[in-house]
Amino acid sequence: MPTHYLACDLGADSGRLMLGTLDNGKILLEELHRFPNGPVKASGALHWNIDGLFQELKTGLKKAAARQLPIASISTDSWGVDYVLYDDRGLILPPVWHYRDSRTAGGVENVRAHVDWPVIYSETGIQFMALNTIYQLAAEPPGRLAAAKQLLLIGDAFNYFCSGVAKNEVSLASTTQLYNPQTRAWSKKLFSALGLREELFAPICPSGTRLGPLKKNLAIETGLPQIEVIATCSHDTGAAVAAVPAAGENWAYLSSGTWSLMGVEWPQPVITDQGRGLGFTNEIGLGNTVRLLKNIVGLWIVQECRRQWAKEGKKNDFAALEQLAAAAPPLVSLINPDDPRFLSPDDMPHKIAGFCQETGQPVPATHGAYVRCIYESLALFYRVVLRRIERLTGKKIERLHIVGGGSQAGTLNQFTASALKIPVLAGPTECTALGNILIQAITLGHLPSHAAAREVVRNSFELKTLAPQSTAEWDAAATRFEKLVS
């Protein structure tokens, strides 16, 4: 008999409620409700409209109830680092901050005044990013933290909204830079150094934890029965990696979207001086595996260019930009995607032009040239990151799985295969929702293992294999590129 599950998949640009149906060794996904998301600007600050997102979830649950299917369970996954504070009545203390808000710069200075960076990395294995939870909390007014009774990360706040049970699932907790993957607990050393109350942080639970039934009032309001609420991998990348359709060893993954997250699934943390210097992060995945990865600004750069061009009255969808990029001259100008200027929004083409001028390269002359510059630079940066992964692990990577929305960016993925000189397997696009649903199935005993879940993905979706091309030209470009990132 088919089994049905719901996945609330929250991204920084949009959210979806997805219906997953597991039947005869295959899985089918259907989008029930999609809704916009994004930062809300208020008094110059960036927030999330958390109440609006809760209302959108309710709308999706009503649509699910209208289908009159025997749904087994629901879980939410989200982006990392951001959090919700609650008072002693269980009410949200506004605002819910957006990770791109500029206040984090002050938080970085506050943390540096109390604890050294090597200590933070040795405790957490997480790369430095000013948006990490540790720095966001250090930017909070002390009175607001004192008034807070509980902190939940975004995906876990949605599971709490559904179940009334407050837990921070480990994959999402590991993004905070306050979790110690060696002790498998919140870092007492960092809490002490920064004056953080451990009781503020809801307890950590493993991936695949049954939280309890859907709250009765929510079930009545939406028309659903009291289905099981499960904490799967609450971090969207953790869920996506759980559904990577890989088999065997010597593979790496690239979760490609607004962010590019490139890494390997590893049995234990790799917390070394070399890893710290190279900016690698150790996040937790299903079964307490470690996602040894590098966070890379990904298609965000293209998205911001497109937004700027639209403001100027020149609208193109991504498919059109991809065609323009494919037709532009190859390997003319390159940028370092890791340059901090590309993290912030507003007039991205101007920032790219500035980087090219500073490094003595031609400024891209057309929209296609800009996008090609971004794509080629990302592919070459992926090459740099892959070589570093090989050095850190001592393993030679033989193939790369690209999942997420970026798996549809055929030009970028071909560039990546050529730059890395290994086959690329692209797809599926919906790995985050897939992972969320498959972990629900494992938790409920409907699938016997993680390996069986990955086999379901392979049986359900056709993957596109891209072989390397023009590798000599890419080797020459890599030599130029390395001077930009050294």
Catalytic residue among 236, 338, 339, 475: 236
Structure tokens that stand for 256 in this block: 């490609």
Task: Respond yes or no: is residue 236 known to be catalytic.
Answer: yes
Structure tokens that stand for 246 in this block: 């890989």
Catalytic residues: 236
